[in-house]
Chains A and B, each alone.
Chain A
Amino acid sequence: MAPSEKALTKLLFADTEGRDLTRLSEYEEVGGYKSLRKALKMKRAKVLDELLAADVRGRGGAGFPMGRKASFLPKPKESAKPIYLVSNADESEPGTFKDREIMARIPHMFIEGVVIASRVIGAKTAFIYIRGEYLTEFEILRDALEEARNAGLVGPDVLGSGWDLTVVVHRGAGAYICGEETALLESLEGKRGQPRSKPPFPAISGVYASPTLINNVETLATVPKILEIGGAEYAKLGVEHSTGTRVFSLSGNVANGGNYEVELGTSLRELVYDIGGGIPGGRELKAIIPGGSSVPVLTADEVDTALDFDSMAARGTMLGSGAVIVMDDRCCMVQLGLRVAQFYMHESCGKCTPCREGTRWMVSILRKIEDGEASQGELDLLLNVCDRILGNCLCPLGDAAAMPVASYVAKFRDEYQRHIDEGGCPFHGDSTLDHVMAPVDQHHARIRAEIEVPA
């Protein structure tokens, strides 16, 4: 894979320069697994206190404080059922590729986080659910885990502590929805990945109807660092309510795409211009998606917004998965809406009607607008469909389609209106997203192969 050439090295990636941290020996040279040794000597509650003091919020998208989530699980002695840790490595929010780089470059840090978190909740089995497409990363992780097992860091009697931990890496098979925690659990159990109704929450009834803590890869990879420097010290990084560093995935019309680890509270301008090298080809910045394709868009005027949870909320958007997608002035916002809606239509699991049908209606109306065939009332009809999806489904996938598209209309209404008034796209074929083939459209095509089946 292509590593981020100018990756900033703040905390997680601090020691990667000139080292191959996929190897246990090199990871141990820079203090690897010291935090695990420390955690094994501490009481579980004390380790949890450090996570609570760090105030680290989930790096997967929802931003829920990790320590609090862990505190919702029953104590091992009080639980009639086994307790499980599940790591969500099903990274697939469009624009996001940070967990992939964490698993590829610092897999032991992630594994160490998995082991410590398992210890905190008293789990004897941990699952890592990695997206099926990440084959290379799966292999790196599998090899690192094997090294850790051979060194007694994972498996029976972890480092002589008398505590056993089995870690199972489970590969997905191509379904965005399995990044949603309850869909992931269904998939892990061997079912179609359709979300469950909540409550009960996974902390009470997760995988195999047992108490389960689910955390994102980056969140878990942060745990060893929190124990290394101390929760209170960690909380000094970043800003209030958004502590620590985050690995932002920068992509789109920007000179230096890649993953960059910066302190939370850094401005979007600094990430896009100073670190990312700005907009190439002398083009103008038009819009930025700050947290993956499911979050509302920011305009070029909002580029000074800080990358933290509260600042993004104040702008009506979210930090999401930390995926920053940059669009220059060649991007048609109707085509953007169409492509985003097509993605969610393709990935809707079909369980809830507002999402299953609503995403289809969104695609249909957006296509009419793009093709210049929409009548005057259809822009409001689009917003009406979005409104009827929002908050009406079991999981946030429908919202993930409705929120961004409604924001494109709100912030670029004139551009949408021009399509209707002028009977077509004002970009006349010159937009970067013109006639992009989405997977949802190719399913009509017939696969013609006649392959001999081995006897």
Chain B
Amino acid sequence: MAPEALYDEIQTIAARYPQRLSAVMPALRLAQERYGWLPPDAFREVGEALDLTPAYCKAVASFYDMFHLEPVGRHMIEVCTNVSCALVGAQQVLEAFEGELGVHAGETTEDGEFTLRTIECAGGCGWGTVVSVDHRYREPVKPEDVPAIVEELRNGSE
């Protein structure tokens, strides 16, 4: 999405709300879709579209886990390790991903393909372990399922 298109799209979203400030989160989401994360330019562009300072936009973004203030991999693998998933083996699933990808939780692979991280309760507790792959839930995931998931993503990226 070009900067002008982003600007226009944000105006459309802002018109849906009684107050334009409400559009800041959807606008940040759009900007993140454009850049893959939220670099300084994203805050400047969102700020310009909504008459806000870049600092305000970053202050909002930094509150929420789904906004990335640093570059992340092309694929996002998120393993829920809250109580329900942990009780049925989430840590083993996480370790299987760590082994398969060669990174620790919170890190991105050297080739920029994968970011692996743990997340708090994703809301699939009865079907744990819940793994969110590019924002789509896989449930339940067992450690033995991990190589196929990574393989699928590697093949899909080619």
Q: Is the CB of B87 within 8 A of A327?
A: yes
Given contacts A96-B123, A190-B25, contact A135 B136 (CB under 8 A): yes
B71 CB contact (under 8 Å) in A293, A323, A343, A450 = A450
Considering only CB atoms, which chain A residue lies closest to B39 in the complex? A453
B18 within 8 A of A: yes
Measured between beta carbons, the chain A residues less than 8 angstroms from B24 are 190
Which listed residue, A133, A188, A436, touches B123 by the CB 8 Å rule? A133
Q: Does A407 contact B (CB under 8 A)?
A: no
Q: Does A125 lie within 8 Å of B18, measured CB to CB?
A: yes
> Is B147 in contact with chain A by the CB < 8 A criterion?
no
Query: Does B55 lie at the interface of the complex (its beta carbon under 8 Å from any beta carbon of A)?
Result: no
Interface size class of A (residues with CB under 8 A): 35 or more
If the complex has contacts A171-B29, A439-B117, are A208 and B108 also in contact, measured as CB distance less than 8 A? no
Please determine whether A171 and B72 come into contact, CB atoms closer than 8 angstroms. no
Q: Are A347 and B106 in contact (CB under 8 A)?
A: no
Q: Which residues of B contact A4 (CB under 8 A)?
A: 126
Contact B18 A82 (CB under 8 A): yes
Q: Does B153 contact A (CB under 8 A)?
A: no
A257 contacts which of B39, B115, B123, B126 (Cβ < 8 Å)? B126
Are B91 and A176 interface neighbours, CB within 8 A? Answer: no
Are B126 and A447 neighbours in the complex by a CB distance under 8 Å? Answer: no
Residues of A within 8 A of B70 (CB): 447, 449
Given known contacts A173-B67, A448-B108, A347 and B22 CB-to-CB distance under 8 angstroms: no
In chain B, what residue has the closest Cβ to A257?
Answer: B126
Instruction: Say whether A95 contacts B108, CB under 8 Å.
Output: no
Complex: A346 Cα to B80 Cα, angstroms? 14
Within 8 A of B (CB), among A226-280: 249-253, 257-259
Complex: how many Å from CA A82 to CA B17? 13
* A86-94, A299-307, A363-371, A420-428 - interface stretch: A86-94
Interface core residue of A131, A323, A336 (most chain B CB under 10 Å): A323
Chain B residues lying within 8 Å of A331, measured Cβ to Cβ, are: 87
A279-304 with Cβ < 8 A to chain B:
289, 293
Chain B minimum-CB-distance residue to A445: B106
CB of A133 within 8 A of CB of B122, answer yes
Q: Looking at chain A's contact residues, is the secondary structure mostly helix, strand, loop, or mixed?
A: loop
Residue of A at shortest CB range from B68?
Answer: A447
Bound form: Cα–Cα A325–B121 in Å: 13
User: Could you say which of B23, B107, B140 contacts A447, with CB atoms under 8 Å apart?
Assistant: B107
Contacts of B91 in A (CB 8 A): 434-437
Residues of A within 8 A of B137 (CB): 1, 136
Residue of A nearest to B95 (CB): A437
A84-B37 Cα distance, complex, nearest whole Å: 33
> Is residue B47 within 8 Å, beta carbon to beta carbon, of the partner chain?
no
Q: Mark B51-95, 1 if CB is under 8 A from A, else 0.
A: 000000001100111110011110000000111101111110010
Cα distance A438–B119 in the bound complex, in angstroms: 7
Contact yes or no, B84 A433, CB < 8 A = no
Query: Which residues from A are CB-within-8-Å of B108?
Result: 447-449
Q: Does B105 contact A (CB under 8 A)?
A: yes
Which residues 343-401 in A have Cβ within 8 Å of B in the complex?
Answer: 343, 346-347, 349
Q: Are B81 and A436 in contact (CB under 8 A)?
A: yes
In angstroms, Cα B16 to Cα A453, docked, is 30
Chain A, range 130-170, C-beta contacts under 8 Å to B = 131-136, 168, 170
Whether A173 contacts B66 by the Cβ 8 Å rule is yes
How close is A198's CB to chain B, nearest CB, in angstroms?
21
- Pick from A133, A170, A258, A433: contact of B66, CB below 8 A: A133
A309 at the interface (CB under 8 A from B): no
Judge whether A323 and B125 touch: CB under 8 Å. yes
CB within 8 Å for A259 and B107 given contacts A174-B65, A191-B60, A432-B87: no
Compute how far the CA of A174 lies from the CA of B59 in the bound complex, rounded to whole angstroms. 15
Q: How far is the CB of B21 from chain A (nearest CB, A)?
A: 4
Q: Complex Cα distance A439/B59, Å?
A: 20
- A-chain residues with CB within 8 Å of residue B72 when the two chains form the complex: 447, 449, 451
CA A438 to CA B135, docked complex, whole Å = 19
Q: Which of A95, A188, A190, A437 contacts B81 (CB 8 A)?
A: A437
Could you tell me if B126 and A258 are in contact, using CB atoms closer than 8 angstroms?
Answer: yes
In the bound complex, CA of A322 to CA of B133 (Å):
27
CB pair A94–B84 under 8 Å, yes or no, is: yes
Chain A nearest Cβ from B55, distance in angstroms: 13
- Which of chain A's residues have a CB closer than 8 A to the CB of B88? 252-253, 432
**Given the known A-B contacts A175-B64, A190-B24, are A439 and B125 also in contact in the complex, defined by CB atoms under 8 Å?**
no
Q: Is A454 an interface residue (CB 8 A)?
A: yes
Q: Is B145 an interface residue (CB 8 A)?
A: no
A330 to chain B, nearest CB (A): 9
Residue of A174, A289, A327 with most partner-chain B CB within 10 A: A174
Query: Which residues of B (89-148) have their CB < 8 Å from a CB of A?
Result: 89-91, 94, 104-110, 112, 115, 117-128, 132, 135-137, 139-140
Q: A173-B28, A436-B86 are in contact. Are A450 and B22 (CB under 8 A)?
A: no
Which residues of A are found within 8 Å of B119, using beta-carbon distances? 133, 174, 439
**Could you tell me which B residues sit within 8 Å of A by CB distance?**
16-19, 21-26, 28-29, 34-37, 39, 41, 59-60, 63-67, 70-73, 81-84, 86-91, 94, 104-110, 112, 115, 117-128, 132, 135-137, 139-140
The 21 sampled A-B contact pairs (Cβ below 8 Å) are: A1-B127, A1-B139, A2-B140, A94-B83, A96-B121, A97-B126, A175-B64, A175-B65, A190-B24, A249-B125, A252-B84, A252-B125, A257-B128, A258-B126, A293-B121, A339-B82, A437-B118, A439-B119, A445-B104, A449-B73, A453-B35
Given contacts A134-B123, A174-B67, A445-B106, 6 further A-B contacts (CB under 8 A): A95-B125, A133-B66, A249-B126, A252-B84, A436-B90, A453-B35
